[in-house]
Amino acid sequence: MSETRTSIRAEFPGLLLRPWFVVTLACLIYSLAVVAMNNGDPLALVTIGTRFSENLSVESGGTEGYDGQFVYYIANDLSTAARFIRQGDDVPAYRFQRILLPALAIVFSLGQASLIPWALLIINLIALAAGTALLENLLRRYKVNRWYALGYGFALGTFGAARLSLPEPLCYALVLGAIVLAKREKWLMSAALFALAVLAKETALLFVAGYGLYLLSQKQWRTMILFGLIAATPFALWQIILRWKFGAFGVGSGGALATSFEVIPFGGILRILIGAGITYEASVLPFGNLPFIHTQTAFIPGLLVIFLIFLLLLTPFVIFPTLWALRESWKAFRSRAITPTIGLLFANAAIMLFVPFSTYREPLGILRFVVGLQIAILVYAAEKRSGRTLLNSTIYAYTVLLILAWDFSTPR
């Protein structure tokens, strides 16, 4: 018996004092506190706006809500969800393409509408725990400190997304599982997890592209083709179904007020300075009317000040990591030292140059989008055993403060 206990301790050291447990417990407590603050209503977790639920325009006092409401509508009733999405001028195909989370919520809730918000929370808590634990596993394999995983676990794009009933925790838990399998060269099993991740959120395709680039550089043609087919075919078939059902492909269509991908590098940031169609909600953050979500559209005086505020947010979390990752990728390409982690780093950094203005103008949106780059940097830095880069990556944990500002600054 004593030998068994020793073996368990060796395999699971400090099980309850590990990043995945700390992050998951904190998210559970925080989410329950949000429900309590809203008179025990679990619908607070999905942030429903009356613009969509009651077809009440902003001019008439309607509220915007946030993207978790679309997951809820789809999980609640597949046949009526499109109507709610359309009446708020959003795009059903775009929302339905992220089908995995609402599909799981239908299963977890046993078809009971009242249980859907709780099902979404449970799924995302499991995904948050799994994703953080998988990242810990990768860090340990590279012989670096597991606690660097806190930067991922407490990021707004994971911790905040779990509280807001968004698909990122599920998507990136599957991505991290696929990375672990790819590291063991179990390419087909990795591709299968990527296929699920892409159905959770299409940004997982960037990781598929990153591995495809690596396999191409190694001339592993057969593996590359099989990997790509397994990872992308379910998503492609789902897009065809969406096109037949809604008359549009989900990928590339965007939601309400979406703009196209930029041509000029960091054009989405430069357009903030121009002030084209900036949307904002008063007092969302402690320092005033920072553009945050699509609540109302206006020309804001002092655009330069707003632009500088955005730069304070974007520089440490988006701009600098992107430029650093591109520099590291260029160095590897120039020396022809392309590894799987370089492929992931390049794919996730290159896309940041062309992210639409509609994503950059919304801090929560861009911090959700950047999670892929954050993971790529963490895995690359762990492989290189770059303590400085790993330490710098923990800065993403501070973005959790934005979800606190979201919940406590303005009553909803």
Predicted local distance difference test score (pLDDT) of residue 306 = 76
CA distance 391 to 145: 10
Predicted local distance difference test score (pLDDT) of residue 361 = 85
272, 313 in Cβ contact below 8 A? Answer: no
190, 207 in Cβ contact below 8 A? Answer: no
Whether the pLDDT of residue 83 is over 90: the answer is yes
Whether the pLDDT of residue 189 is over 70: the answer is yes
Predicted local distance difference test score (pLDDT) of residue 292 = 42
Residues 1-26, mean pLDDT to the nearest whole number: 69
Say which range, 8-17, 91-100, 312-321, has the weakest mean pLDDT: 8-17
- Residue, of 52 and 296, whose pLDDT is higher: 52
CA distance 57 to 92: 18
116, 104 in Cβ contact below 8 A? Answer: no
Q: At 410, which amino acid appears? A: T
Reported confidence tier of residue 406, pLDDT bands at 50, 70, 90: confident
Predicted local distance difference test score (pLDDT) of residue 304 = 74
Average pLDDT, the chain: 88
User: Which helix H or strand E contains 275, and what residues bound it?
Assistant: none
The set of residues, in sequence order, having a beta carbon less than 8 Å from that of 269 and lying 6+ positions away, is 310, 311, 314, 319, 360
Whether the pLDDT of residue 223 is over 50: the answer is yes
Residues 25-41, mean pLDDT to the nearest whole number: 96
Using left for φ > 0, alpha for ψ between -120 and 50, and beta otherwise, residue 55 falls in left
CA distance 326 to 353: 10
Reported confidence tier of residue 53, pLDDT bands at 50, 70, 90: confident
Predicted local distance difference test score (pLDDT) of residue 291 = 38
- Residue, of 387 and 286, whose pLDDT is higher: 387
Instruction: Give the residue from 23, 22, 384 showing the smallest Cα distance to 172.
Output: 23
Three-class SS state of 288: strand
* Structure tokens belonging to residue 230: 């397994």
393, 381 in Cβ contact below 8 A? Answer: yes
- What is the total residue count of the chain? 412
CA distance 291 to 77: 32
Predicted local distance difference test score (pLDDT) of residue 80 = 92
Question: Counting beta carbons within 10 angstroms of the beta carbon of residue 248, is it exposed (0 to 12), middle (13 to 18) or buried (19 or more)?
Answer: middle
φ and ψ at residue 292, rounded to 5 degrees: -140, -60
* Structure tokens belonging to residue 293: 């979500």
Q: Kindly report, residue by residue over 257-284, the tens digit of the pLDDT.
A: 678 888 899 888 888 877 644 444 433 3
Whether the pLDDT of residue 117 is over 70: the answer is yes
Reported confidence tier of residue 162, pLDDT bands at 50, 70, 90: very high
Whether the pLDDT of residue 8 is over 70: the answer is no
CA distance 75 to 104: 8
Q: At 107, which amino acid appears? A: V
CA distance 5 to 21: 21
List the chain domain ranges.
18-408
Strand locations in 271-394 (E): 279-280, 296-297
Question: Counting beta carbons within 10 angstroms of the beta carbon of residue 313, is it exposed (0 to 12), middle (13 to 18) or buried (19 or more)?
Answer: middle
Residues 170-188, mean pLDDT to the nearest whole number: 97
